[in-house]
Amino acid sequence: MKSLKKLLVLILAGIMLTACGKTENKKVEEEKDKPMEKVSFLLDWDPNVNHAGLYVAMDKGFFAEEGIEVEVNQPPANGAEALVASGKADFGVSFQDTIAPAFASEKPLPVTAVAAIINHNTSGIVSIKDKNITRPKDMENHNHSTWGLPIEQAILKQVVEDDGGDFSKVKLIPGDVTNTLAAIQGKDIDTVWIFYPVDGVRAEMENVPINYFAFKDINKTFDYYTPILIANNDFLKNKEDLAKRFMRAFSKGYEYAAKNPKEAAEILVKLNPELDKEYTIKAMDYIHDKYKDDAEYFGEINADRWNNFYSWLWENKLIDREIPKDFGFTNDFVNPEKLK
């Protein structure tokens, strides 16, 4: 009798395990049969190492694992912000400084910064070494190629004066330099505002002797976030689950790129064959540890840094309205605890 009972128990257990297995298999098949959800993404410029994590996530199947197909597009001439705000794109790459006027308007642009793509500002001033411009004060009695933007010129003025210089002695030359290294090696341009992962790395590759100082090292207020990932507010509200699944894959892509910079560079070039492979590998070697840097997790935006920069803009009358404290950003889509 005991043997019969044991046999019955084993048979019942086998039936239950088979049923469970069929249920799990059915769930997996159902997931496979689900159509991929599309998410549209706008770059800020041509593909570059700032976007490496996005392309890694695409290539490694991180988005596919979340049931997402990403459509990547180039931005219009006026940037990604307007299209993301209108809902014609779900996500886009922007910058804390350039988006400020849109946040300071009577009707703020309906977008939110959901991630810092690079944790610290990598921009600063470059010059050819033999001109001995090693600090902001040294810009006196030299010229500077300017985009003519009020925020840009106010930052320059602040760092020069903080260093004891006279900004009125810096000659501003309007123009958009397309080849920085050629410009500073010529006779017409002394200094240019650059992002080091672009022109600084190229200078290293081409053995061009330069001097460079970073804004974040001169004044902590200028350690603002550039670039940032923005998203459409209605998208975040109405498709929160999709947005969080996208951000899980996006963050995973950047975490992978940070740990595997050479492979990430190769993926970036594979998906964008017009890129210079040698430069891309060197630029990734420079930038990979700067995505997260000293943040608690990739994409985290520090409220104090965010608010301090916008307070400085308001105090210097560079925006029409004061941007409320903590306005325009959230960490809810990058904080691992919120993405579970």
Q: What is the 3-state secondary structure (H, E, C) of 229-262?
A: EEEEHHHHHHCHHHHHHHHHHHHHHHHHHHHCHH
**pLDDT of 340:** 84
Other CB atoms within 10 A of residue 88 CB? 14
Look at domain 123-222 and name its CATH class. alpha beta
The H-or-E segment that residue 71 falls in is strand 68-73
**pLDDT of 176:** 83
Distance between CA 263 and CA 51 in Å, rounded?
14
**pLDDT of 32:** 55
Q: Same CATH topology for 37-119+225-315 and 123-222? A: yes
Fold of 37-119+225-315: D-Maltodextrin-Binding Protein; domain 2 (3.40.190)
110 upstream amide cis, omega within 30 of 0: no
- Sorted by where each begins, the domain ranges of the chain are 37-119+225-315, 123-222
* Cβ-contact 169, 138 below 8 angstroms: no
**pLDDT of 11:** 40
DSSP structure class, residue 281: H
pLDDT tens, N- to C-terminus, the chain (340 residues) = 445 444 334 444 444 444 445 444 444 344 456 789 999 999 999 999 999 999 999 999 999 999 999 999 998 887 899 999 999 999 999 999 999 999 999 999 999 999 999 999 999 999 999 999 999 999 999 999 999 999 999 999 999 999 999 999 999 999 888 899 999 999 999 999 999 999 999 999 999 999 999 999 999 999 999 999 999 999 999 999 999 999 999 999 999 999 999 999 999 999 999 999 999 999 999 999 999 999 999 999 999 999 999 999 999 999 999 999 999 999 999 999 999 8
What is the full DSSP assignment across 77-131? TT-SHHHHHHTS-SEEEE-TTTTHHHHSSSS--SEEEEEESSSS--EEEEEEGGG
